C-alpha cells in the first residue's frame, strides 16, 4: 500500500501506546473456538460460504482489515466476504438483529442495550477504548457547560455512545432529561443540524465531530473519557454456533490489524481519512489523540465495570424495561473464548 500521508507525531504516539499494551485473560466460559487453520485446510472446508461483516469509521481496525484484504486472502474462493458499512452503533445493531451482518461493531453501551432488549448477540472482541463522544456547540455559543443545556435542544443518535454520553453528562450536571429536547438524528445529520442552527448542541461522534471542529469551528464544551464505553465487536449467537471457525478467523484478523497498526500508524490515519472523506490532519487527531487501540481484546471485568454504571441509566431513561434485564444481559453478553484463542499468524497476508 502506498503511503498517503505522513504524521510522525501521531505515529510515535500510537506506536508507543500499542507497544505498552498488555494482554491478560478475560473472564467467562464458553465452548472452545474452532481452529480456522484446521477448518480451512480440512476436506470439509469452512463451515459457511458467506461472511457478512461490517466496517465503520468509528472502528479503525475494521477499516484496516477491509483495506488489506486479509479475510478474502485467508478464505480464498471458499468464503465470500460481504462488507456492510455501519453509520453508527444503532445501525450495526439493526443489521445484527435482522441478520444482515454476522459480525458488527458497536459501542459497549449499544451492545448492552441490544442484548438487554432481546437481541441475541455476544461480544467476541474489544477493538478500542476511544474518546469518541463529547458535547459540541457552535463557535460563539452561549452554551458553555452541560448545565446550560436545560431548556435547550440537543441532537443525538439514540442507541449509540453519544446518546448515552449525553444522558450521563446531564445526570452528572443535575439536569433532568425532560428539561432537554433531544432530537434523534443520525450522527452526520446531527452535525448538519448543529452547524445550520437547528439545535443548540450536539452529542457528537468522531471522526464526524473532529471534522466539524476543523471545518466549521465548532467547540467541545464537555469531554469525559469515562463516559465513553469501549468498542465492542459483536456476533449473532446463530453465527457463533454455526461457524465458530469463521468467527475465530475474524478475531484473528482483528488482532493482526492491531499489530499492523503499531507498525503502520500513518497508514491507519491515511485509510481513515480516505474512507471517512476527511482531511488527514483530522484523521490524525482522531487516531492519535482520541483512539486507544492498545487494549486487551478479551471482553471482561474492565468492560463490565463501565457497563454496570451505564445500565441503570438505561432503565431510568426508559430504554430498558428493568434492571433485571440489564443484569441478565451483563451475564450473557461476553464471549471471551475467541479473543483468548486469537492467533494473527493464521491470517494470510
Q: What is the pLDDT along the chain (349 residues), one digit of tens a residue?
A: 333 333 333 343 444 444 333 333 333 333 334 444 333 334 359 999 999 999 999 999 999 999 999 999 999 999 999 999 999 999 999 999 999 999 999 999 999 999 999 999 999 999 999 999 999 999 999 999 999 999 999 999 998 899 999 999 999 999 999 999 999 999 999 999 999 999 999 999 999 999 999 999 999 999 998 898 999 999 999 999 999 999 999 999 999 999 999 899 999 999 999 999 999 999 999 999 999 999 999 999 999 999 998 999 899 889 999 999 999 999 999 999 999 999 999 999 9
pTM value is: 0.82
CA distance 230 to 310: 12
d(CA 335, CA 234): 9
By the 10 Å C-beta count (0-12 exposed, 13-18 middle, 19+ buried), 323 is classed as middle
As a whole number of angstroms, the distance between CA 66 and CA 343 comes to 18
User: What distance separates the 2 farthest-apart alpha carbons in the chain?
Assistant: 67
Across the chain, how many H-helices and E-strands are there?
16, 11
- List residues bridging with 134 in a β-sheet: 204
The Cβ of residue 321 has, within 10 Å, a number of other Cβ atoms equal to 12
Q: Where are the alpha helices (DSSP H) in the chain?
A: 8-19, 36-41, 60-68, 70-75, 89-98, 108-116, 161-173, 187-195, 208-216, 237-242, 244-263, 265-276, 280-290, 301-317, 323-332, 337-340
Closest listed residue to residue 278, CA positions, set 210, 219, 335, 177? 210
Please answer whether residues 116 and 333 qualify as being in contact, where contact means their C-beta atoms are separated by less than 8 angstroms.
no
Rg (the chain; Cα; Å) = 20
Please say whether the beta carbons of 275 and 1 come within 8 A. Answer: no
**Alpha-carbon distance values, 142 to 11, 67, 146, 149, 180 (Å):** 37, 43, 11, 10, 16
CA atoms within 13 A on the CB side of 229: 32
pLDDT at 18: 41
d(CA 285, CA 279): 10
Please name every residue paired with 141 in a beta bridge, in sequence order, or none if there are none: none
> Within 13 Å, how many C-alpha atoms sit on residue 270's CB side?
16
Amino acid at each position: 500500500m502506498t503511503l498517503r500521508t505522513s504524521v510522525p507525531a501521531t505515529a510515535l504516539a500510537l506506536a508507543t501506546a500499542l507497544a505498552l499494551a498488555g494482554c491478560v485473560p478475560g473472564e467467562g466460559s464458553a465452548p472452545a473456538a474452532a481452529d480456522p487453520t484446521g477448518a480451512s485446510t480440512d476436506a470439509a472446508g469452512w463451515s459457511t460460504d458467506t461472511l457478512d461483516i461490517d466496517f465503520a469509521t468509528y472502528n479503525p481496525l475494521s477499516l484496516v482489515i477491509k483495506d488489506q484484504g486479509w479475510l478474502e486472502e485467508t478464505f480464498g474462493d471458499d468464503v465470500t466476504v460481504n462488507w456492510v458499512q455501519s453509520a453508527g452503533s444503532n445501525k450495526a445493531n439493526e443489521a445484527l438483529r435482522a441478520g444482515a451482518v454476522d459480525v458488527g461493531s458497536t459501542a459497549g453501551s449499544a451492545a448492552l442495550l441490544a442484548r438487554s432488549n432481546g437481541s441475541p448477540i455476544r461480544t467476541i472482541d474489544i477493538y478500542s477504548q476511544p474518546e469518541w463522544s463529547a458535547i459540541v456547540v457552535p463557535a460563539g455559543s452561549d452554551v458553555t457547560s452541560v448545565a446550560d443545556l436545560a431548556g435547550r435542544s440537543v441532537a443525538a443518535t439514540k442507541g449509540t455512545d453519544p446518546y448515552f454520553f449525553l444522558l450521563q453528562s446531564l445526570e452528572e450536571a443535575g439536569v433532568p432529561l425532560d428539561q432537554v429536547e433531544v432530537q434523534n438524528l443520525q450522527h452526520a445529520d446531527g452535525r448538519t443540524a448543529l452547524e445550520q442552527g437547528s439545535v443548540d448542541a450536539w452529542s457528537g461522534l468522531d471522526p464526524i465531530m473532529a471534522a466539524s471542529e476543523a471545518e466549521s469551528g465548532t467547540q467541545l464544551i464537555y469531554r469525559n473519557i469515562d463516559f465513553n464505553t469501549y468498542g465492542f465487536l459483536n456476533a449473532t449467537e446463530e453465527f457463533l454456533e454455526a461457524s465458530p471457525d469463521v468467527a475465530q478467523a475474524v478475531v484473528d484478523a482483528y488482532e493482526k490489524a492491531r499489530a499492523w497498526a503499531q507498525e503502520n500508524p500513518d497508514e491507519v490515519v491515511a485509510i481513515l481519512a480516505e474512507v471517512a472523506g476527511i482531511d488527514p490532519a483530522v484523521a490524525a487527531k482522531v487516531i492519535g489523540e482520541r483512539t486507544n487501540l492498545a487494549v486487551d481484546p478479551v471482553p471482561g471485568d474492565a468492560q463490565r465495570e463501565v457497563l454496570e454504571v451505564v445500565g441503570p441509566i438505561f432503565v431510568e431513561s426508559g430504554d430498558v424495561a428493568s434492571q433485571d434485564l440489564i443484569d441478565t444481559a451483563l451475564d450473557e453478553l461476553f464471549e471471551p473464548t475467541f479473543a483468548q484463542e486469537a492467533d494473527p499468524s493464521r491470517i494470510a497476508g
